[in-house]
Chains A and B, each alone.
Chain A
């Protein structure tokens, strides 16, 4: 039994969402991968920003990208900037272990939709998925 999850985030509504997890730490990748699977999603997982950009260049679209900040080769801030410059409309959620407000602000300014501190919790993912499902409703013009 999973506590705190309501019907709007059930597996059924999430089946068509594609998710990318970008993190250099294999433990975090495994954790986030499992969290998302629990919500009925099948995340794709890569280990740095450059890999995420490559996927975009190949024309592969993701509804949601969970982006770590501190990664080798290309970090979260750079990858987010590059993706937005290239025209990505994915929801990009930054996940960072740095607590400092200025870090989070820089990260948000790079083009994030939301930013959370690690570790991710069920509530955060629940929130993100609700936001995603709301955005996907084309004829939903009562939400502001």
Chain B
């Protein structure tokens, strides 16, 4: 595939992520923060988000396996996950976190468990999509081109 085709593929892919609600304008803000002084900013922030998220999802799974469920603790984790998801523009994950928090407040174990599954699912989708996008960007850079904004 030649450079122009790669660049077009990237733009199309990125646009689809916005259209399908995986990303929102906050992600655009992140891209605007990237410049020559900070050329890998977006990848760094997103990598941090992945690390953070995996830790939080682990904690959530453990917390929901306990005999006595600590809803306050679960709520704190979901709150953090919602915050970081909204900060990188992971819209679907963020919205699910809102629902998750409602179940926490209602102390509804079934609801929480269901939400956890949904959140894990959405998170893994957006992770895969972002990784694919970054891979496309790398291909463009390796082909000697620049990443279209």
Check B32 against A118 for contact (C-beta < 8 Å): no
Instruction: Name the interface residues of A92-114: CB closer than 8 Å to any CB of B.
Output: 97
Is the beta-carbon distance between A97 and B83 smaller than 8 angstroms? Answer: yes
Nearest-CB residue, chain B, relative to A72: B76
Other-chain contact of A119, B26, B48, B76 (Cβ < 8 Å): B26
On whether the beta carbons of B45 and A30 are closer than 8 Å, the reply is yes
Is B58 part of the contact surface with A, judged by Cβ < 8 Å?
Answer: no
> Any chain A CB within 8 A of the CB of B70?
no
A20-35: contact bitstring with B at CB < 8 Å (1 yes, 0 no)?
A: 0000111110110011
- B residues 14-43 in Cβ contact with A at 8 Å: 26, 29-30, 32-33, 38, 41
Chain A interface category by residue count: 10 to 19
Judging by beta carbons under 8 Å apart, are A119 and B86 in contact?
Answer: yes
A38 CB–B CB distance under 8 Å: yes
The answer to whether B38 touches A34, judged by C-beta atoms less than 8 angstroms apart, is yes
Interfacial residues, chain A to chain B (CB-CB below 8 A): 2-3, 24-28, 30-31, 34-35, 38, 70, 97, 118-119, 121-122
Chain B residues proximal to chain A, CB less than 8 Å:
26, 29-30, 32-33, 38, 41, 44-45, 48-49, 52, 76, 79-80, 82-84, 86-88
* Known contacts A27-B49, A70-B76, A121-B29; 9 further A-B pairs (Cβ under 8 A): A2-B32, A24-B80, A25-B84, A27-B48, A27-B52, A27-B84, A31-B87, A34-B45, A35-B33
